[in-house]
Structure 1
């Protein structure tokens, strides 16, 4: 997704992006760029309008958006729904651990901020 996002960002400038453009954008935010993947994205998206690419993507995920994300679990088999229920039961345990107060650390070695 990062390569596609970098391509669309570069395409908004009005020119046809190259793999070097993607590398420059990704490098500016500290992300390593695989030249082969960048070239693959450039080859796949070159000549397409940004608006067309975005609308195609929205059509592909339209089912997820219209169902609110909940329809995916309902459409799966019973075993998957049961495992999802097990995951929901495990969630309160994680909340209990998060609610416990943390012990104070002795990192200050006896010196306070205002001593």
Structure 2
């Protein structure tokens, strides 16, 4: 990922075809170690390709991926649903009494 990020930074800066040495320079300036095998593979995969076209193609592929949570099979009935369907009315849930010192803050207040 770091090699790709450096590649993209270089293309953003105007270098349409960054070399391995260009990427090593960027990563070296940030104090990041370079993995030569991954770098050579990245250069081989991206050589001769337009980065903007690759990003646009990837965006269309991502748009087709379903996102969002899985839906549960049955949703809970609204509060008046049981009475409307002829069943017994549900009693409202009772809250448990709150302790003055809960485990949430572990005894520490925000401004103590």
TM-score by length of 2: 0.54
8 Å CA contact 1:19, 1:42 repeated in 2: yes
Once the two structures are TM-superposed, the CA of residue 43 in structure 1 deviates from its matched residue by: 0.8
**What pairs with 1:29-108 in structure 2 (closer than 5 Å)?**
29-64=30-65, 67=67, 70-71=68-69, 74=70, 99-100=105-106, 101=108
| Structure 2 runs not aligned, ≥5 long | 72-101
1:57-102: CA deviation from partner (whole Å, max 9, x where unpaired): 21232245x73xx24xx29xxxxxxxxxxxxxxxxxxxx8773329
Residue 4 of structure 1 aligns with which residue? Answer: 4
Output the aligned Cα RMSD.
2.7
Q: Which runs of 5+ in 1 are unaligned?
A: 76-95, 103-115
TM-score calculated relative to the size of structure 1: 0.53
